[in-house]
Structure 1
């Protein structure tokens, strides 16, 4: 049976969807934009936006009783692919800090994102036998 994942440690959803769905061995995390769940603020800096999006994913993963190391796939949506190197630096730091292997990843440039943020990241986490 599917279980909806919801935590106050990640931003509330802004549409007809959930933060994540746990289907047992896998958890599908909806795209996370860089909104601070406590203040509602969005940083102007792409590096801080990357970090906040990843922290939001971490909060949801932990609400599903998993860890960053359980993340097996991410999709990164950027409004400017010229920020790719900055994204890679923050992304690499984040996974190293959590002693987690890098997941598979796709990165695509998009014209616009909700709230005019510069990045959105979605993820899939799995229970590894």
Structure 2
């Protein structure tokens, strides 16, 4: 399948599955915009293919998510890949640690997909 002419935004695109997705979409012809908090990881992944560029941002912050999409330009595909995990046993997990995971895994997904829909034709 060719994705030529399509722009893909991938949160959490600097490492792991996000970086792998970015490379796969780029090889399929898409223009790929990766986002994340760590500039070094974003730069390293973007260096792996000329069709990948990066916009730094934090999915837990509404203004940052809006700025990520403004920097990316109109996207036809949005992948909310950013995620956080903590390997502590539940009995030792603090409420602050729990809330940090919820902020990335739930709120970040919501903010990313909502803004993505608003940017697409016919929505928002």
**Structure with the higher fraction of residues in strand conformation:** 1
Task: Choose between structure 1 and 2: higher helix proportion.
Answer: 2
Indicate the structure (1 or 2) with the bigger Cα radius of gyration. Answer: 2
